[in-house]
Amino acid sequence: MSLMEHKDTTVLFSCRASKYLAEKVAEVYEKPLSESICLQYADGEFQPSLEEGVRGKDVFIIQSTFAPADNIMELLMMVDAAKRASAKSIIAVIPYFGFARQDRKDKPRVPIAAKLITDLLQAAGVNRIITIDLHADQIQGFFNIPVDHLYASSIFIPYLRGLYDNVDNLLFASPDTGGTKRANQYAKFLGTGFVMCYKHREKPNAVASMQLIGDVKGKDVVLVDDIIDTGNTLCKAANLIKEEGAKSVKAMITHPVLSGDAIEKIENSAIEELLITDTIPLKRESKKIKVLSVAPLFAEAIRRVECCESIANLYEQSVKHVGLQTKF
């Protein structure tokens, strides 16, 4: 079956919070978003409605599940609506998978919220998940359905190659021990070294102390992480790296939660440029923040799912796909 024939049986929907991104995905995929509405009641209750028939079709619903929790609820309700309308399959495209930081019990009598969310999605009727840069890879194992896990390195690495003519002076850094694997993967791909910061927390979102492991003198350092929330850890790491003699400090973060005054902290830190994606809408613009779109990546993933093609190699090669590179 050709791609055009597949497109006849494919419908793209979006929940309200990710409409901005879904429109870009639809533009790259060259198929308009199907119409949906969401009635809002006076007490805060809402009711989404699919305004197009989906019987026997593959339904892709695009929604990031950042706060408030209404966003995950709206996605679940859209999935339920598609299931009750006799959709052939329902694929949830979740650029930012919320609650992913609660992937284990770190103390007694707390939930594993990431597992709860996966159970809710499957109970609602989701047949497949497409997401990017999960906080913990093992969350894929919480699902009993296929999970297509994409990586923002597909976007960041080409940008870095255009930014640095010579990567010999480049170092990747992890702002904490949990991100060392991610920083190491970038370093291996580009053939550079990496360093890490060791932090001690006394309570959530508060860094008590931090130490740098590795030599950064005279180096161009790029901090790598999946989520930036309050910005405390990232800014503290950047300032420490600069104090230790780094030539420059940049950062690449996939999901820009940017709670509270995080943007102000970035602007007042040693970070020269913060690269983020549009999995979450940016609260306000900043001269230090550059947004790269994941829309081409998700559009290509949707195409490959529909054409039953492998997405195992959907990394840097995907941005070189004809018609995608110009969409950034």
Q: How far apart are the first and last CA of the chain?
A: 29
Cα separation, 13 vs 74, whole angstroms: 12
Active-site residue, 287 included? no
Residue with tokens 């609660």: 102
Please list, in sequence order, all residues whose beta carbon lies within 8 angstroms of the beta carbon of residue 43, skipping any fewer than 6 positions away: none
Strands (E), 134-259: 147-150, 170-174, 193-203, 206-213, 220-228, 248-256
Give how far the C-alpha of residue 124 lies from the chain's centroid of Cα atoms, to the nearest Å: 22
* Cα dist from 290 to 72, 154, 253, 273, whole Å: 27, 16, 11, 7
Strands (E), the chain: 10-14, 36-40, 46-50, 58-62, 89-94, 128-132, 147-150, 170-174, 193-203, 206-213, 220-228, 248-256, 273-277, 289-292
Catalytic residue selected from 31, 199, 242, 250: 199
Read off the tokens for 137.
Answer: 């890879």
The residues that are catalytic are: 199
